[in-house]
Chain A
């Protein structure tokens, strides 16, 4: 792959500028204190303007770079989707059922294809995590809004 005009560098510069502008506008909407001073605004504004300036510097100094390797992007996006779906499902059907599904899917994304291994993960992972964190350590488990297996197994 030969070096190309710097799309990544430019994209980063533009992203920083956009975040900087957004953050600056939001910072300016932070309320003043009772004496009309900027107290609570100073730091957010300093951070936002720094980003804006750094974005301009990044865009201005964009250099040719190797195109990035995007072969693994589908797997990464799959893992991100699984992550979001996993947290959401914990909130609706509880930890045990969600982990029963998420554990084999995570293994599958990482390349495990052995059906026995995937089934074992579906049973062992929720059982082990539940036992360690919610039984042994006494952390209050996240309960599902729609349904929770804990209601059936009596909290254990």
Chain B
């Protein structure tokens, strides 16, 4: 039914098509991510109907993840962090004159991975929502707690700074009036702060302006593009015999990506590297990996795109964004008055399934455009001078931040967030953990306080309820596992240096 709704609406199809192109181009621009594009375009969607608005941003996220592979293969610079694993084999292939072939493998693998993730989402999401409906406040808080810990500790180089990013996100979310008692918190007497910090300017600052600040450090660095072999069509033609060995990797990686996508905060970069590592470990030709193996492009591309659909599952069922794109989409749901969470499948079922259908159509669209036009996108990006592109993005971020509420205070917030975003990247803090925690904090606090009202034993309610205790332990186990892994890596580096 969702597909019928979408296919019968040419305007909606037009938005999906536009999103497929915009996402691919943005994803392919080194340094610019799909999150940045979505954050910047978010205020424009306030003026659209809910379904086109959500579909537009959702498909940008999908095609943006794929677009990163174009830059990884052609420029040896991953367009997104998720494409860094693709670069390992994609760029050597391009240097061998097989850029076209590598991009075709990336496109097909991305489409298969994304499709697998989307189908798993469609099959599983209603089931997860039914379970989520049975969770009470103590269990919900435990899920939030696990999400905070996983998001803070698993992504990024430093566990301490990742967790500090999450704690900072919680503190910033506390600014304003307490939703229950209307007590002022962290307002320091400022009237503007009593309304709290708005999500949209914060995200535009962290993801867009922060990136503009970072790009100043890249001024003068020329990106070089490997020639795509139009003249060498034979080397760039992809046959079934060549793609067939990639299929087991693509299928395995799709499921790895889908599983990682369901876990809040891990994201497509981790999925891509896990899939690459697993693929190399199980490959018949591990020596070729890293030197231009087609399977080395297929595995990470399938995994990083398979994340996209399942990362929506915690968002739609629990209101917990699994990724930064999910965190941004929360803003769209809220602006259009749609309450996310398990009841959404009762109140807005048609909208949700139409959104999934848009996702499937978007995958087909970026697949077709990418298969035949990825090289042209690469050439187009080479023609756009970054010294003009980033000032334009700089100016757009100001007007986009203002547009969200028509308030100049939001623009100041965006500037502060932009500088903070740059500083966080520079100091190995984790901007994604900061923003996702900012989004989660309100729901987590509500669940925590409701749980305490239900409890006769205060905080003990969280350890006497088995599901709540399980999630608390999952969070702590993830953190300790990560600390152990970081320490192990540090010891290995120290031994090597010694």
Chain A bound to chain B: yes
**Chain A interface (Cβ < 8 Å from any Cβ of B):** 8, 12, 16, 19, 23, 26-27, 30-31, 33-34, 39-40, 42-44, 46-48, 50-51, 54-55, 57-58, 61, 63, 68-69, 72, 75-76, 79-80, 83-84, 86-87, 90-91, 95, 99, 102-103, 106-107, 109-112, 117, 121, 125, 129, 133, 137-140, 142
- In angstroms, how far is the closest chain B Cβ from the Cβ of A20? 8
Enumerate chain A residues within 8 angstroms of B168, measured Cβ to Cβ: 19, 47, 51
Total chain B interface residues with beta-carbon distance under 8 A: 55
A8 touches B427 (CB 8 A): yes
- What 10 pairs across the A-B complex have the smallest Cβ distances? A40-B178, A106-B391, A47-B170, A50-B167, A47-B171, A110-B387, A83-B415, A72-B217, A40-B183, A54-B164
The residue in chain B whose Cβ has the minimal distance to the Cβ of A23 is B171
Measured in the bound complex, the distance between the Cα atoms of B490 and A63 in whole Å is 11
The residue in chain B whose Cβ has the minimal distance to the Cβ of A104 is B391
What are 11 inter-chain pairs, A to B, with CB distance below 8 A? A12-B427, A23-B186, A30-B178, A33-B180, A44-B186, A50-B167, A63-B490, A79-B394, A109-B216, A125-B395, A129-B395
The residue in chain A whose Cβ has the minimal distance to the Cβ of B403 is A139
Asked if B273 lies at the interface with its beta carbon under 8 angstroms from chain A, I say no
B160 touches A54 (CB 8 A): yes
Measured in the bound complex, the distance between the Cα atoms of B158 and A61 in whole Å is 11
B396 touches A129 (CB 8 A): yes
- Proximity string of chain B (206-220) to chain A, C-beta cutoff 8 Å, 1 when within and 0 when not: 000100110111011
Enumerate chain A residues within 8 angstroms of B390, measured Cβ to Cβ: 110
> Given the interface contacts A43-B174, A51-B164, A58-B161, does A87 sit within 8 Å of B216 by beta carbon?
no
Measured in the bound complex, the distance between the Cα atoms of B178 and A106 in whole Å is 39
> Given the interface contacts A16-B164, A51-B168, A140-B406, does A75 sit within 8 Å of B181 by beta carbon?
no
Out of B180, B185, B398, which one reaches A86, CB within 8 Å? Answer: B398
A12 touches B422 (CB 8 A): no
Enumerate chain B residues within 8 angstroms of A102, measured Cβ to Cβ: 395
Chain A facing B: main interface SS: helix
> Given the interface contacts A8-B427, A54-B160, does A39 sit within 8 Å of B180 by beta carbon?
yes
Out of A40, A58, A75, A137, which one reaches B185, CB within 8 Å? Answer: A40
The residue in chain B whose Cβ has the minimal distance to the Cβ of A31 is B183
Enumerate chain A residues within 8 angstroms of B73, measured Cβ to Cβ: none
- In angstroms, how far is the closest chain A Cβ from the Cβ of B381? 17
The residue in chain B whose Cβ has the minimal distance to the Cβ of A75 is B216
Asked if B115 lies at the interface with its beta carbon under 8 angstroms from chain A, I say no
Stretch at the interface among B88-96, B251-259, B352-360, B441-449: B441-449
Asked if B298 lies at the interface with its beta carbon under 8 angstroms from chain A, I say no
Asked if B13 lies at the interface with its beta carbon under 8 angstroms from chain A, I say no
A40 touches B164 (CB 8 A): no
**Chain B interface (Cβ < 8 Å from any Cβ of A):** 44, 47, 160-161, 163-164, 167-168, 170-171, 174, 178, 180-181, 183-186, 209, 212-213, 215-217, 219-220, 386-388, 390-392, 394-396, 398-399, 402-403, 406, 408, 411-412, 415, 418-419, 422, 426-427, 441, 444-445, 448-449, 490
Enumerate chain A residues within 8 angstroms of B415, measured Cβ to Cβ: 80, 83-84, 87
The residue in chain B whose Cβ has the minimal distance to the Cβ of A105 is B391
Measured in the bound complex, the distance between the Cα atoms of B415 and A90 in whole Å is 14
> Given the interface contacts A40-B183, A87-B408, does A47 sit within 8 Å of B174 by beta carbon?
yes
Enumerate chain B residues within 8 angstroms of A75, measured Cβ to Cβ: 216, 219
A33 touches B181 (CB 8 A): yes
Measured in the bound complex, the distance between the Cα atoms of B216 and A79 in whole Å is 9
The residue in chain A whose Cβ has the minimal distance to the Cβ of B398 is A86
Out of A42, A47, A84, which one reaches B167, CB within 8 Å? Answer: A47
B395 touches A106 (CB 8 A): yes
A112 touches B395 (CB 8 A): no
A87 touches B391 (CB 8 A): no
Enumerate chain A residues within 8 angstroms of B186, measured Cβ to Cβ: 23, 26, 44
B183 touches A111 (CB 8 A): no
Measured in the bound complex, the distance between the Cα atoms of B168 and A14 in whole Å is 15
Enumerate chain B residues within 8 angstroms of A50, measured Cβ to Cβ: 163-164, 167, 170
Out of A43, A90, A137, which one reaches B170, CB within 8 Å? Answer: A43
**Inter-chain pairs besides A75-B216, A106-B394, 5 sampled, C-beta below 8 Å:** A12-B161, A76-B216, A80-B415, A102-B395, A111-B220
Enumerate chain B residues within 8 angstroms of A109, measured Cβ to Cβ: 216, 391
Enumerate chain A residues within 8 angstroms of B388, measured Cβ to Cβ: 107, 110, 112, 117
- In angstroms, how far is the closest chain A Cβ from the Cβ of B171? 4
Enumerate chain A residues within 8 angstroms of B391, measured Cβ to Cβ: 103, 106-107, 109-110, 112, 121
Enumerate chain B residues within 8 angstroms of A19, measured Cβ to Cβ: 168
- In angstroms, how far is the closest chain A Cβ from the Cβ of B72? 24
Measured in the bound complex, the distance between the Cα atoms of B409 and A142 in whole Å is 11
- In angstroms, how far is the closest chain A Cβ from the Cβ of B106? 31
- In angstroms, how far is the closest chain A Cβ from the Cβ of B442? 9
- In angstroms, how far is the closest chain A Cβ from the Cβ of B95? 29
Enumerate chain A residues within 8 angstroms of B395, measured Cβ to Cβ: 99, 102-103, 106, 125, 129
Enumerate chain A residues within 8 angstroms of B178, measured Cβ to Cβ: 30, 39-40
Enumerate chain A residues within 8 angstroms of B448, measured Cβ to Cβ: 42-43
A137 touches B403 (CB 8 A): yes
Enumerate chain B residues within 8 angstroms of A69, measured Cβ to Cβ: 217
B167 touches A44 (CB 8 A): no
- In angstroms, how far is the closest chain B Cβ from the Cβ of A150? 15
Measured in the bound complex, the distance between the Cα atoms of B396 and A102 in whole Å is 12
